[in-house]
Amino acid sequence: MAQNIYDDPKFFAGYSQLPRQVHGLKGAPEWNAIKAMLPPLEGKRVADLGCGFGWASRWMRQQGAASVMGYDLSEKMIGRARADTDDEAIHYRIADLDRLELPVDSFDLVYSALAFHYVADFDRLVGMMHRALTLGGALVFTIEHPIFMAASQPDWIEDEQGRKIWPVNGYSIEGERRTNWFVDGVLKYHRTMGTTLNTLIRQGFQIDRIEEFAPTTAQISENPGLAEELERPMMLLVSAHTT
């Protein structure tokens, strides 16, 4: 079973104060890039894996999705998602993505934001999603970028000229990474870009687009702290469809 950090009170308290949790999708700088990768939502049956507070689930219904099933490991997240949602076509369920089995041929879109890097068995998950999608169905997801995750000490350092450097090592050595994020020892799984994309292809997906999120000039003007995201990609965005 996946580690459930989200129900740790200390983690939850910190996490709930992140801009993207306070302000929803508008607080996520990569949201416009994600939107551009989504298929038209009108009439679609959507699964939202790692739905958190349900921000994206509700947005997709507003865009005309026929139904949205949101899944999350955290009781606290699902509890708040249910409290914040008044829509009979959105359902939230507690589920571990390392074990979840969606019904076969039941969804037109599987969406997931920043959840799959907590999943140990990506191959199982991708096969399951392929079975759950109809033919031509779309998969759009974001994960922490492997450049961001690989290193043993993933934090900025300065070079001799005082320029920021992001360290990379152990890139080809996949598996567990432990970091401290609100609490100590948050468990994530590093996979190379090659493994992520080849797993999708092998399980029957065709890759449509890859984005390594970088802020726009306008975003940096508004929030100068985002400039460091040009130095190394923090997030990988992928869209694909079943064949």
Among residues 2, 114, 120, 210, which is the contact residue for a copy of itself, using CB under 8 A?
Answer: 210
List of residues 6+ apart from 43 with CB closer than 8 A: 64, 65, 66, 108
Instruction: List b or e across 199-216, with b for residues whose CB sees 16 or more CB atoms inside 10 angstroms.
Output: bbeebbbeeeeebbbbbe
For residues 120 and 113, give the distance between their C-alpha atoms in angstroms, rounded to a whole number: 16
Q: Would you count residue 220 as binding a copy of itself (CB under 8 A)?
A: no
Q: Would you count residue 199 as binding a copy of itself (CB under 8 A)?
A: no
Q: Would you count residue 214 as binding a copy of itself (CB under 8 A)?
A: yes
Q: Would you count residue 194 as binding a copy of itself (CB under 8 A)?
A: yes
CB of 203 to a copy of itself, least distance (A): 13
For residues 240 and 243, give the distance between their C-alpha atoms in angstroms, rounded to a whole number: 10
**Cα 159 from chain centre:** 31
For residues 238 and 142, give the distance between their C-alpha atoms in angstroms, rounded to a whole number: 6
Q: Would you count residue 229 as binding a copy of itself (CB under 8 A)?
A: yes
Contact window for a copy of itself (CB under 8 A) among 2-10, 121-129, 178-186, 197-205: 197-205
Q: Would you count residue 167 as binding a copy of itself (CB under 8 A)?
A: yes
List of residues 6+ apart from 161 with CB closer than 8 A: none
Q: Would you count residue 197 as binding a copy of itself (CB under 8 A)?
A: yes
Among residues 212, 219, 220, 226, which is the contact residue for a copy of itself, using CB under 8 A?
Answer: 212
**Cα 32 from chain centre:** 14
CB of 154 to a copy of itself, least distance (A): 11
Site residues (CB under 8 A) for a copy of itself?
147, 150-153, 157, 159, 163-173, 192-194, 197-198, 201, 206-212, 214, 229-233
